[in-house]
């Protein structure tokens, strides 16, 4: 079964095909990403919008080390203008993070990448 999943090729037409493929193996999109496709489908994403980007820090008081830093990566963009994204936040004080794989409009996803790149990337 694992070989079939690793060998699967997405045609780029629709994010729905990725969702259907994951469901056919009783996997969530997050499980499919984490276990089998950790880079997503980068060939479907414009080069200027590839990779992990860090967003703003929120929940921080002045002079305090606490806060949460947002992050995201566009995993795939289909021919219909939909995107599959990895989005989450890291607790910069404790080092813990939480994230999920989401489906959204590709223009919104690329806009978020552009905005996030305005923040320091370290």
| 1 Cβ neighbours under 8 A, 6+ residues apart | 25
pTM of the model: 0.90
- Asked if residue 22 lies in contact with residue 32, where contact means CB atoms within 8 angstroms, the answer is yes
Q: What are phi and psi of 47, to 5 degrees?
A: -50, -35
- CA pair distance 34, 85, nearest whole angstrom: 13
Tens of pLDDT along 32-91? Answer: 999 999 999 999 999 999 999 999 888 777 777 778 889 999 999 999 999 999 999 998
């Amino acid at each position: 079964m694992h070989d079939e999943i690793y060998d699967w090729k997405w045609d780029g037409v629709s994010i729905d095909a990725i969702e259907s493929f994951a469901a056919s193996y009783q996997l969530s999109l997050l499980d499919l990403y984490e276990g089998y496709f950790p880079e997503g489908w980068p060939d479907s994403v414009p080069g200027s919008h590839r990779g992990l980007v860090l967003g703003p820090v929120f929940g921080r008081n002045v002079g305090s080390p606490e806060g949460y830093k947002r992050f995201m990566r566009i995993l795939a963009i289909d021919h219909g203008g939909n995107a599959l994204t990895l989005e989450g936040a890291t607790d910069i004080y404790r080092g813990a993070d939480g994230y999920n794989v989401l489906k959204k409009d590709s223009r919104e996803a690329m806009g978020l990448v552009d905005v996030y790149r305005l923040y320091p990337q370290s």
